[in-house]
Amino acid sequence: MFATIQTIIDQEAKLAVPAAHLTLRADLYALGLTSFDAIRLIVAIERAFKVELAREMLKRETVASIESIARAIQAAQPAPIVAEDMRIAA
């Protein structure tokens, strides 16, 4: 997941440092991320991971670091279906 996020950051944001050289908690805004870049990043993340971020996730903090992006993706992914959830009531 992190490698994909790094690739997306490199493609959609013009940061001073390649994403592969960043720590998971590096502040992307301090490295040059703009609000326009953040929007492009969100759209690219949604496409790449086939998720839709909830409205309350569409804020600055969501794309502030690789770690926060990964948390947002995990929160947006549907919960797996457990076999016992599929039982049909008789």
Of residues 7 and 77, more confidently modeled: 7
Q: pLDDT tens digits for 65-89?
A: 999 999 999 999 887 766 565 565 5
Domain boundaries, the chain: 2-78
* pLDDT band, residue 22 (cuts 50/70/90): very high
Domain 2-78 bears CATH identifier 1.10.1200.10:
yes
- Residue 12's pLDDT band, with cuts at 50, 70 and 90, is very high
Residue 14 confidence class, pLDDT cut points 50, 70, 90: confident
Mean pLDDT of the chain: 91
41 Cβ contact list (under 8 Å, min separation 6): 8, 9, 12, 13, 33, 63, 69
* Beta carbons within 8 Å of 9's beta carbon, 6+ residues apart: 15, 19, 28, 41, 66
Q: Tell me the pTM.
A: 0.84
